[in-house]
Amino acid sequence: MKENLMRISELLNSDTITCGLMSQDKEGVIAELAESLAKISGMAVEELVRVLMDRERMGSTGIGSGIGIPHGKSKELSEPMMAFGLSRKGIDFESLDKKPAHIFFMLLTPENAPNIHLKLLAGIAKILRNEPFRQRLMMAKTPDEVISILRDEEEVF
C-alpha cells in the first residue's frame, strides 16, 4: 500500500462522485455513497453502511460548515477508497453547527492502516477549511469538475 504521495483526487473517479445526491437523511447519504464504493471494492453495500453507521454512533462526522466526512475502517480492504457527494438542498447530518451538510467525503481505509486514515482525514479537513474552495465544489456539475477543483487545491499527504 502506498504510504506516501497520496492525493484525494487519485482516490476518486467518476464512478465514486455523485454531484446530485438524492437522499434526504444521514443514513440515506451514507448508503447512496457506499453503493459506488461497493462496486469498486467488491464489498457488500450493507457491510459498508454498517461500518460507517457504527462510526456515526460514536459521534457525528458532520463537522459543520456544510461538510460531512463519514469514515470507517475495514479488515476487508487492502487500499483506501473514497467517495464524494454533493447535496444542493442540504441534509441534516447532525453537524456540530446544527446546519445542513452539502459536501460529503466518504473515506474507508484498511483496518491495519491507521496512519493513512488519519492523514487522509486531516488532508480533507484542511482543504475544506477554505471557503472559496467549498463554494467552487458546490458549483461543480460533473465528476470531472470535482476532480479538477480538487487537483487545483490539494497537496500531497
Pairing state between β 67-68 and 101-110: parallel
Give, as one character, the DSSP assignment of residue 69: -
Q: Of the residues 71, 102, 117, 134, which is catalytic?
A: 71
The grid cell for 8 is 484525494
Q: How far apart are the first and last CA of the chain?
A: 14
CB-CB neighbours of 153 under 10 Å: 17
User: Beta-carbon neighbour count of residue 136 at 10 Å?
Assistant: 17
Examine the residue annotation and report whether 117 is marked as an active-site residue of this protein: no
Q: How far is CA 7 from CA 17, 41, 67, 120, 132, in A?
A: 15, 19, 19, 8, 20
**Per-residue b/e over 87-124, b at no fewer than 16 CB within 10 Å?**
beeebebebeeeeebbbbbbbbbbeebeebbebbbebb
Residues classed as catalytic: 71
